[in-house]
Amino acid sequence: MTTPSTSPTLIAPSDAARAADGRARTYEVRTFGCQMNVHDSERLSGSLESAGYVRAEVGEEADVVVINTCAVRDNAAGKLYGTLGHLKSRKDRHEGMQIAVGGCLAQMDKDAVQQKAPWVDVVFGTHNMGSLPGLLERARHNGEAELEILESLDVFPSTLPTKRDSVYSGWVSISVGCNNTCTFCIVPSLRGKEKDRRPGDILNEIRLLVEDGAMEVTLLGQNVNSYGVEFGDRRAFGKLLRAAGEIPGLERIRFTSPHPAAFTDDVIDAMAETPAVMPQLHMPLQSGSDRILKAMRRSYRSERFLGILDRVRAQMPDAAISTDIIVGFPGETDEDFEDTLRVVEQARFASAFTFQYSIREGTPAATMPDQVPKEVVQHRYERLVALQERISLEENQKQLGREVQVLVSTGEGKKDAETHRLTGRAEDNRLVHFEVPEGSGIPRPGDVVSVVVTHAAPFHLLADSVDGAPLRIRRTRSGDAWDRTQAESCGVPAPEGAAGAPRAVSLGLPTLRLGG
Give the pLDDT of residue 9: 73
Residue 178, annotated as binding a ligand: yes
456: Cβ contacts below 8 Å, ≥ 6 apart? 393, 396, 397, 399, 400, 462
Q: Which uninterrupted H or E stretch holds 69?
A: strand 64-69
Confirm if 145 and 118 have CB atoms less than 8 A apart: yes
Give the pLDDT of residue 512: 33
Give the pLDDT of residue 514: 32
CA distances from 251 to 18, 125, 247, 375 (A): 41, 35, 9, 47
Residue from 59, 58, 119, 55 nearest 93 by CA: 119
Give the pLDDT of residue 505: 53
Give ∠ CA 203-209-211 in degrees, rounded to 5: 105
Confirm if 44 and 102 have CB atoms less than 8 A apart: yes
Confirm if 493 and 37 have CB atoms less than 8 A apart: no
**Averaged in consecutive runs of 10 residues, what is the pLDDT profile of the chain (516 residues)?**
63 90 94 81 90 92 93 76 93 94 86 91 88 93 90 72 85 90 86 89 94 95 91 94 98 96 96 98 97 97 98 98 97 98 98 93 92 97 98 98 97 74 97 94 97 98 94 96 83 41 43 33
The span from the CA of 250 to the CA of 398, in Å, is 28
Residue 490, annotated as binding a ligand: no
Q: Are strands 320-327 and 351-356 parallel, antiparallel or unpaired?
A: parallel
**β-strand partners of 236:** none
Give the pLDDT of residue 59: 87
Give the pLDDT of residue 252: 98
Confirm if 286 and 325 have CB atoms less than 8 A apart: yes
The per-residue DSSP string of 297-347 comes to T-SS-HHHHHHHHHHHHHH-TT-EEEEEEEES-TT--HHHHHHHHHHHHHH
The span from the CA of 423 to the CA of 415, in Å, is 10
Q: Computed over its alpha carbons, how large is the radius of gyration of the chain?
A: 23
264: left (phi over 0), alpha (psi -120 to 50) or beta: beta
The span from the CA of 288 to the CA of 303, in Å, is 9
